[in-house]
Copies of this chain bind each other. A is one copy, B any other.
Amino acid sequence: MSETVADTESLMEQESRLSESPSAVPGTVRPGGRTAKVRRAVLDATEDALAASGFHTLNMDQIAASAGVGKTTVYRRWGSPVGLVTDLLHDMAEQSLPAADTGSLAGDLRANAALVHRTLTDPRMGAVFRAVIAAAACDEECATALRGFYRTRLEEWAPVVTRAAARGEVPAGTDALELLRAVSAPLYYRFAVSREDLHETHAERSVQAALAAAAAGAFVASPAPGAD
């Protein structure tokens, strides 16, 4: 769990370091030319704006001003607020870090649930996720990018289930992505749908429920003849 918490923090630090050093001495920022730095500045400004006031007030001119980048560049490269959100989602997918490997399925799923819980209850990242979910509800291009983001996350964590199957912790043929979705779903349901409070106890319950369901074979690829 602590490894994953550290991952979240390092991800946030990394992002804020990049955004706070637009004029840093060469060599003190991540490798990448002018284009990469412009993209970083624009995506950080987009994330700031989404966190502060959501998708529907996203304004290209304000993003350009906040990022310290010419308007022409922002319009030419991203085209619209939808273009900014989809590129941010691609970037979030690219930046996501490897899955936990604690030695047990329970430990790995706890790390996953803790990461989801921390992200959604973090004031900044919670607001960003709410904004991208809302953007996806209103725009199909954003929806496709959001689907891609979760697909990348799920695939990154899939080895957790493969390793568990090799250790005999889940039945053969368990669908890794379905098991991982089952861990996240109750947390996102409260966060984005029923709009109820989200606590650590919900993350733990979600893990316990997913482990019990997995042990019972509920996530085996074809649960019943003719299904799926």
Q: How far is the CB of A22 from chain B (nearest CB, A)?
A: 30
- Chain A 24-48, CB within 8 Å of chain B: the 1/0 string? 0000000000000000000000000
Q: How far is the CA of A190 from the CA of B192 in the complex (A)?
A: 12
- Given the complex, which residues of B lie within 8 Å of A192, measured CB to CB? 133, 137, 188, 192-193
Whether the pair A199, B216 counts as a contact (CB closer than 8 A) is no
Complex copy number for this chain: 2
- Given the complex, which residues of B lie within 8 Å of A66, measured CB to CB? none
A-B contact pairs, 11 of them (CB 8 A): A133-B137, A150-B193, A181-B186, A185-B185, A185-B193, A188-B193, A189-B189, A192-B192, A201-B223, A208-B216, A212-B218
A residues sitting closer than 8 Å to B (CB atoms) are: 54-56, 130-131, 133-134, 136-138, 143-144, 146-147, 150-151, 154, 178, 181-182, 184-186, 188-190, 192-196, 199, 201, 204-205, 208-210, 212-213, 215-216, 218-219, 223-224, 227-228
